[in-house]
Amino acid sequence: MNFEQARFNMIEQQIRPWNVLDSAVLDTLSVVRREDFVPAAHKSLAFADMELPLRAGGEAGQCMLAPKVEARMLQDLAVQKHEKVLEIGAGAGYMAALLAQRAQRVISLEIDPALATLARTHLQKAGISNVEVRQADGAKGAPVEGPFDVIVLSGSVAEVPHQLLEQLKTGGRLMAIVGEAPVMRATLIRRTSAVEYLTSQGWDTVAPRLLGFPEHSRFNF
Q: What pLDDT is recorded for position 56?
A: 61
pLDDT digits (tens, 9 = 90+) for 122-181: 999 999 999 999 999 999 999 999 999 999 999 999 999 999 999 999 999 999 999 998
In a domain, 214, yes or no: no
Domain that holds residue 125: 3-205
Domain count, the chain: 1
In a domain, 216, yes or no: no
CA distance 103 to 85: 7
pLDDT digits (tens, 9 = 90+) for 180-202: 988 899 999 999 999 999 999 99
Helix 94-102 vs helix 23-31: crossing angle, to nearest 10: 130
In a domain, 101, yes or no: yes
In a domain, 166, yes or no: yes
pLDDT digits (tens, 9 = 90+) for 17-42: 999 999 999 999 999 999 999 988 88
In a domain, 153, yes or no: yes
Judge contact between 128 and 103, C-beta under 8 A: no
Q: Identify the CATH number of the domain in which residue 101 sits.
A: 3.40.50.150
In a domain, 179, yes or no: yes
> Is the model's pTM score more than 0.85?
yes
In a domain, 51, yes or no: yes
Q: Residue 55: is its pLDDT beyond 80?
A: no
